[in-house]
Copies of this chain bind each other. A is one copy, B any other.
Amino acid sequence: MPAPGPDVLVGIGDDVAVLRDGPDQVWLATCDVQVEGAHFLRNAITPVDLGRKSLAINLSDIASAGGSPKFALISLGLPDDLPVEFIDGLYRGLRSEAEHFGTEIVGGNISGSKFGLFIDIFLLGKASRENYLLRSGAQVGDQILVTGTIGDAAAGVALLQTPPSVADAAYAEVARSRLNTPTPRVQEGRLIGESHLATAMIDVSDGLAGDLGHICERSNVGVRLEANKLPVAAANRSLAQIVHGDEWHFALHGGEDYELLFTAPKAHAMELSSRINQATGTPVSIIGEVLPQEESRQLVLPAGQVVPLATFGWDHFKEKA
């Protein structure tokens, strides 16, 4: 692989590519796809929600770099049997999500697809050069923070297969909605970038443990996560216990949360957490600490027992670059 050129500040290996844009600004470029059968089932999500989610997962990548989404290109692969109403709904969802997050759809491509539907999106965002954040940069002693709650989307997936009777009905609705209409933390990400208090950031798409593993790899650090500080609904833990025999399974290994996972020096973590919460209403939890790399990745269970944090994620196959 040739070395990146002078205008490429970050190439393959992070959630976004970072491209120089004059002396002070950068472009952030990312793409992510939703493929029928692999990422969604056509009968388990409405076309509008599918449109929204397809853009949301890309907005989340720009947010995770502390940037502002600007321009989207939409590449659609449409099977012959897809009703025109479905396509209309898909576009409505794409447009409403774009408008909500100040993003302009500037082009794209429509192609036939013999077998299944796919929605592939290319998103360009902007950030000032001193604000953007990467997976690398976490320092030993930093605290680990996460927005919102985690594990809900994975519970939503489980509930597609498991009789809903095992779950609290109200929570089942929450889980389904978190799976089908995730909220990208765009404002939160921008504020975290602008604060200059965070050291590394990623969005939780592959599962908290897996994505924290990405920060560890790129920052050359270890981590200690405290299970009882994880922002996980009680109903989520019960369902994970029933389905996987492990109450932390969805929270740690679920994926598709699209929350922001970031690190900040101990002296600033609490301040950053409350600043984001006050500005956006989104809760921010401090869930662990960055360790030297040789201490590896640890999970402290509620009773105090320390176990290795397995970092297998949502989908082994998916390797974001």
Q: Which residues of A contact B (CB under 8 A)?
A: 1-2, 4-5, 7-8, 11-12, 14, 16-17, 19, 21-22, 29-33, 35-39, 70-71, 73, 75, 77-78, 95, 99, 104-116, 118, 120, 122, 124, 315, 317-321
| Contact assessment for A108 and B12 in the assembled complex, using a CB-CB cutoff below 8 Å | yes
Which of A4, A35, A78 has the most B CB atoms < 10 Å from its CB? A35
Check A11/B321 contact, CB under 8 A, given A29-B124, A31-B75: no
| Contact assessment for A73 and B106 in the assembled complex, using a CB-CB cutoff below 8 Å | no
Please pick, from B110, B319, B320, the residue contacting A317 in the complex, using a CB distance under 8 A. B110
Report B-chain residues with C-beta under 8 Å of the C-beta of A111. 33, 35, 38-39, 317-318
Please pick, from B11, B108, B120, the residue contacting A107 in the complex, using a CB distance under 8 A. B11
| Contact assessment for B114 and A115 in the assembled complex, using a CB-CB cutoff below 8 Å | yes
| Contact assessment for B110 and A319 in the assembled complex, using a CB-CB cutoff below 8 Å | yes
A113 to B19, CA, bound (A): 29
| Contact assessment for B11 and A112 in the assembled complex, using a CB-CB cutoff below 8 Å | no
| Contact assessment for B318 and A38 in the assembled complex, using a CB-CB cutoff below 8 Å | no
Check A318/B112 contact, CB under 8 A, given A29-B124, A75-B33: yes
